[in-house]
Amino acid sequence: MATASKRLSRKELRQPDSFQLGTEKALAFYNGHQALVLTGIGVLIIILAAVWGWQVYKDNQNVTASLEFNKALVAYQENKYPEALAAFEKVQTYRWSRYASLSHLYQTNIYLATNDLDKALNSGQRAVTATKPNTLFRQLALMALAAAEERKNQCKTAIEHFNEAQKIVGPLQSSAMLGKARCAEQIGDKAAAIAAYKDYVKESPGSPMGLKLSELESAGATQPLAK
């Protein structure tokens, strides 16, 4: 048998409900702190406007930079290196654009192609700084910088950058192993060269570098390489 619901007394019906109480408290607070509330709202509006304006600014930079980057890329692909360098330099003026970091990388590749190794080192360092950790772009920048260092006979530093590039999951891990092996061999560190060639051959079975590894191992890991 269903129980009858409790009927509210007239006194209880006249009592304000929780919504009404909450509204009254909010109005009371507003009336007592009107200046503070209006100031807070004004600050919030300013912050939201600034965030929106910053996003619009970044979006505009990306659009403009992408157009300039495409022009530079066309010149690069046509081997018009002076024109491409100037165009990539212009892209870098849009420093908040995602294309700015890419332009450093392409400039490094141009300097490597034209054998301007000092500028390749400088541009490669800027490319590494401009890219985010553990990304393909960082791996590409590290490899370009290490290539410039290897060609400048700065193999100890090159090995560090090849090693950092190898730690990033990406398509250039095997190339980084091979770069480490070449540089270790160049500075006469036979043990490090053998270890790097082993890693490379393990990742690339059937590679001609297997013969190189056999030659180094047969010569004896304790004997220094001829410089």
Give SS3 for 203. Answer: helix
CATH entry 1.10.1760.20 includes domain 43-130: no
The answer to whether domain 43-130 and domain 145-227 are alike in fold is yes
In words, the CATH class of domain 145-227 is mainly alpha
Domain segments of the chain as ranges = 43-130, 145-227
- State which amino acid sits at residue 67: L
Q: What is the pLDDT of residues 113-167, one digit of tens each?
A: 999 999 999 999 999 999 999 999 999 999 999 999 999 999 999 999 999 999 9
Residue 64: CB atoms within 10 Å: 15
| C-alpha to C-alpha distance for 89 and 93, rounded to whole angstroms | 7
Contact 99, 65 (CB under 8 A): yes
Start-to-end Cα distance in the chain: 103
Question: What does pTM read for this prediction?
Answer: 0.70
Q: What is the DSSP letter of 6?
A: P
Q: So what's the pLDDT on residue 1?
A: 46
Give SS3 for 115. Answer: coil
